[in-house]
Amino acid sequence: MTVATDSSYGRRDFLKDSVVSVAKAAQEFAKQQAVAPEQPAPPQLRTDWLRPPGATDEALFLERCTKCGDCAKICPYGSITFHPLNGTPVIFADQMPCFLCEDTPCIAACVTEALLPIEGRTQIRMGLAVVSHRACTAGQGCHACASKCPTDALAMDFDSQRLVVTTERCVGCGLCEQVCRTVNDRVAIRITPVRLLAQPLS
């Protein structure tokens, strides 16, 4: 028994259908390529910034600060930079800490009283040093941060073989964080900004 075939479908038709099929596949591929690839998540905005010395409480600071940048311009160490969102003056301790200038030129440069005069650098309250004892190598003889602390807020407790922070003396300048970063593989001490502490520093 002979199977009937469509004699009208020849080689030319086959080639035509093949070309159409390839064209459709190319169109689908182009559509997929046109879809925007997934964008990587934007970097998380840092919250560990400090206000310059003498800063009023956060709400009042934001009310008074005009973002003029005078405090940053006069800082001899370039410690004061600007918040990436609102342009207000901030300090990132891990990049450049505050060196607690005796004459606090940043405060003198502020004419809106967003930064208020202080009696001495021990009265500054930018934050509080917090030690990660798991990462700290003080028990193995490293006392670099304590030796550089300008307010003697850091000391070694030899009974527990741990570094301790005297809250009343710590001004949150970040020098300890910078020193730790310089001498150790892991940074074991970081500054918690005063506004993020559970209770304000006295």
- Bridge partners (DSSP) listed for residue 131: 189
Q: What is the pLDDT of residues 82-133, one digit of tens each?
A: 999 999 999 999 899 999 999 999 999 999 999 999 999 899 999 999 999 9
Q: 173 or 160, which is more confident?
A: 173
d(CA 146, CA 156): 8
What is the structure's pLDDT at 37?
Answer: 57
In a domain, 23, yes or no: no
Is residue 63 within 8 Å of 55, Cβ to Cβ? no
For a pLDDT cut of 90, what percent of the chain falls above it?
A: 63
d(CA 97, CA 93): 4
Domain encompassing residue 141? 58-196
In a domain, 21, yes or no: no
In a domain, 173, yes or no: yes
* Mean pLDDT across the chain: 86
Provide CB contacts within 8 A for 92, sequence distance 6+: 46, 48, 49, 50, 81
Q: What is the pLDDT of residues 69-96, one digit of tens each?
A: 999 999 999 999 999 999 999 999 989 9
In a domain, 117, yes or no: yes
Is residue 110 within 8 Å of 71, Cβ to Cβ? yes
- Bridge partners (DSSP) listed for residue 190: 130
What is the structure's pLDDT at 202?
Answer: 43
d(CA 136, CA 187): 8
CATH number of the CATH domain containing 92: 3.30.70.20
